[in-house]
């Protein structure tokens, strides 16, 4: 099916609760018409649901994940993926050795959490532009801009969120939790991760980065 000739994927969705949400939906639908490969990702977006509260399930998952590690299972596939993504990452990380080591850590953390590594790379690009020392005005830290309160919630106050491996384990676990809560709706999960649920500017930025660079 040619997306440019089909109806907008948003036409069957119920309207949002506010004019602002409706405007955001129309804006995103217009952009999707120019990005047909992304359209399927957004078909199942549900607007204006209440945010999920932190619960024991998430805290247990996070606590378990930050205590574990993983690595590639197939050396050949790993090498192919690392070399392919390294070329794309050169814009952000100059040294090849540093790029390969960074990509290994991303792939390990994403695979452990059950996420696509390419989606995690897109999140990192938008969140920190691959700066492990990035700190937001709200206090979010590191590559995936994790808020420090998570450390206290799971009883690990001494964890260093500037450490790339620690940050990746936190960020990937939190994103996967929201993805499961949203039953695979990536755009909604990204909005929850960013704290902007019901708005689509953040998921749009991540998904465009994923489509244009990392996919």
What is the set of active-site residues?
Answer: 127
**What is the DSSP code string of 102-168?**
HHHHHHHHHHHHT--HHHHHHHHHHHHTT-TT-B-TT--BTTTTB-THHHHHTT-TT--TTSHHHHH
**What residues pair up with 146 in beta bridges, in sequence order?**
141
- In 3D space, the residue among 75, 73, 143, 77 whose CA is nearest the CA of residue 111 turns out to be 73
The one-character DSSP state at 213 is: I
Q: What is the rounded CA–CA span in Å between residue 24 and residue 45?
A: 12
Cα angle 88, 92, 94; round to 5 = 90
Helices 117-128 and 201-209 cross at an angle (nearest 10°) of 120
């Amino acid at each position: 099916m040619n997306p440019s000739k089909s109806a907008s994927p948003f036409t069957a969705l119920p309207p949002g609760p506010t004019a602002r949400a409706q405007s955001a939906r129309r804006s995103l639908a217009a952009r999707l018409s120019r990005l047909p490969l992304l359209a399927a990702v957004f078909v199942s977006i549900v607007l204006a649901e209440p945010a999920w509260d932190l619960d024991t399930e998430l805290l247990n998952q996070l606590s378990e994940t930050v205590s574990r590690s993983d690595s590639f299972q197939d050396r050949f596939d790993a090498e192919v993926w690392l070399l392919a993504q390294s070329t794309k990452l050169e814009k952000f990380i100059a040294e090849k050795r540093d790029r390969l080591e960074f990509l290994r850590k991303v792939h390990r953390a994403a695979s452990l959490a059950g996420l696509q590594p390419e989606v995690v790379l897109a999140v990192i690009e938008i969140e920190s532009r691959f700066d492990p020392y990035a700190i937001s005005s709200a206090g979010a830290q590191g590559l995936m801009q994790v808020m420090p309160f998570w450390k206290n919630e799971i009883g690990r106050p001494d964890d260093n969120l500037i450490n790339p491996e620690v940050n990746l384990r936190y960020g990937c676990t939190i994103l996967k939790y929201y993805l499961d809560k949203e039953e695979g709706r990536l755009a909604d999960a990204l909005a929850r991760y960013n704290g902007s649920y019901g708005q689509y500017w953040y998921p749009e930025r991540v998904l465009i980065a994923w489509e244009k660079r990392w996919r």
